[in-house]
Amino acid sequence: MLKVGVIGTGMIGQDHIRRLTTMLNGVAVTAVADVDTAVAAEVGARIGAAVRATGEEVVADPDVDAVLVCSWGPTHEQYVLAAIAAGKPVFCEKPLATTQGACLRILEAEVAYGSRLVQVGYMRRFDVAYRALKLALDSGEIGLPLMMHCAHRNPSVPGHYRGDMAITDTAVHEIDMVRWMFGTEVGAVRVLVPRHSRNGGDLQDPLLLILEMADGVIVDVEISVNIRYGYDIRGEIVAENGTATLGGPASVAVRRDGWEGIPVPADWRERFLQAYDVELQEWVHAISLGGQPLGPSAWDGYAAAVVSDAGVDALRTGERVVISMAEQPKLYQEAAR
């Protein structure tokens, strides 16, 4: 039974706690903390976990084997570093940290520790459809990949959503996904700005992101965040001899009113519900068996930050931005695929 401490008991923290305590195998939540101590107290009481004053105390708790960081983004660095310092595995919700510098400090700490402790919460790698897509590609049945067409569509975004977030919060999932899918880094990025959707008010929406992978694969990503009809994630890999397309989660088809159709998910929770379960279950299993985490690494978190930042530059300047990354430490070279 892996004993997990959870730092941050807001929406995503509580969702993970629900998962850990009622859905997953071999894990218990033994300690929690939150900047809002009342919420932490309520959650801790409900699940029978100790309530600690700070994230650092959660990390230090001898009854905590591993740490889940679900707090506000700018605090991720300090808690991840604390976990590394304590030699405890840490699952950090995305982003790994809010600046490239902070990501680099985490990389350094983990490299100094000598083996992987950090996993970052990019859940698409655990989605059954993305895994089937990667399997189809890796089988070789369609040849080498040449392009990928993606769409990331939200029905709407909250009022505080600003232009850069289309890259840093939304497209960042595709940025992580393509690095994993193709096993290579992003070399350059462009952002094209199509006609403006009136649904978005002042927000520049949609965008067309163009990622050039280091091996020449070109990925186009449509980002539409106010498209009303639903939450829709699309992807098609174009290879030398054929294509492979991300399947959908269609459980039922209905014919009525002159129409034959399938429902589109309402939001990302519905679409990726199961991927989150798999993500954490596999993490629990890997850590419990005494091994390193197998999911997205601190390097993946750093790379996502670098490419996102370049994407924001590309959006602001209208130019093609070449990606410049730190040298990849040896520790992560195996984990690249």
Using CB under 8 A as the binding rule, whether residue 211 contacts a second copy is answered as: no
Query: What token pair was written down for 314?
Result: 């590309």
Using CB under 8 A as the binding rule, whether residue 263 contacts a second copy is answered as: yes
- Nearest distance, CB of residue 272 and a second copy, angstroms: 14
Considering only CA atoms, which of 227, 230, 222 is closest in space to residue 265? 230
Given 87, 250, 269, 291, the residue binding a second copy (CB under 8 A): 250
Query: What token pair was written down for 272?
Result: 């990726």
Using CB under 8 A as the binding rule, whether residue 322 contacts a second copy is answered as: no
Q: Give how far Cα 326 sits from Cα of 72, 146, 242, Å.
A: 26, 26, 35
10 Å Cβ neighbour count for 193? 13
Using CB under 8 A as the binding rule, whether residue 63 contacts a second copy is answered as: no
Beta-bridged to residue 149, according to DSSP, are 220, 236
- Nearest distance, CB of residue 311 and a second copy, angstroms: 16
Q: Which stretch binds a second copy (CB under 8 A): 33-41, 106-114, 212-220, 326-334?
A: 212-220
Using CB under 8 A as the binding rule, whether residue 209 contacts a second copy is answered as: no
Q: Which stretch binds a second copy (CB under 8 A): 43-51, 88-96, 168-176, 256-264?
A: 256-264
Considering only CA atoms, which of 265, 67, 283 is closest in space to residue 152? 265
Q: Using N-to-C axis directions, what is the helix angle for 172-182 and 128-138, rounded to 10°?
A: 30
- At 17, the amino acid letter reads I
Near a second copy in 121-150, by CB under 8 A: 128-129, 131-133, 135-136, 141-147, 149
Toward a second copy, which CB reaches closer, 82 or 186? Answer: 186
Q: What is the DSSP code string of 213-226?
A: ETTS-EEEEEEES-
Measured CA angle at 119 (ends 114, 121), to 5 deg: 165
Using CB under 8 A as the binding rule, whether residue 220 contacts a second copy is answered as: yes
Given 101, 201, 216, 329, the residue binding a second copy (CB under 8 A): 216
Near a second copy in 271-310, by CB under 8 A: 281, 285
Given 108, 248, 335, 336, the residue binding a second copy (CB under 8 A): 248
Given 156, 199, 292, 328, the residue binding a second copy (CB under 8 A): 199
Using CB under 8 A as the binding rule, whether residue 206 contacts a second copy is answered as: yes
Q: What is the DSSP code string of 130-169?
A: HHHHHHHHHTTTT-SEEEEEEEEE-S---TT--TTHIIII
Given 242, 269, 322, 329, the residue binding a second copy (CB under 8 A): 242
Q: Which long-range contacts (CB under 8 A, 24 or more apart) does 15-23 make?
A: 15/276, 16/68, 16/70, 16/276, 16/280, 17/43, 17/47, 19/276, 19/277, 19/280, 20/68, 20/280, 20/284, 21/47, 23/277
Toward a second copy, which CB reaches closer, 53 or 262? Answer: 262
Count residues contacting a second copy (CB under 8 A)? Answer: 75
Measured CA angle at 86 (ends 81, 88), to 5 deg: 90
- Nearest distance, CB of residue 19 and a second copy, angstroms: 9
Using CB under 8 A as the binding rule, whether residue 202 contacts a second copy is answered as: no
Toward a second copy, which CB reaches closer, 74 or 194? Answer: 194
- Nearest distance, CB of residue 13 and a second copy, angstroms: 18
Using CB under 8 A as the binding rule, whether residue 218 contacts a second copy is answered as: yes
Using CB under 8 A as the binding rule, whether residue 311 contacts a second copy is answered as: no
Using CB under 8 A as the binding rule, whether residue 330 contacts a second copy is answered as: no
Beta-carbon contacts of 12 under 8 Å, excluding residues fewer than 6 positions away, are 70, 93
- Nearest distance, CB of residue 36 and a second copy, angstroms: 27
Cis upstream peptide for 206 (omega within 30°): yes
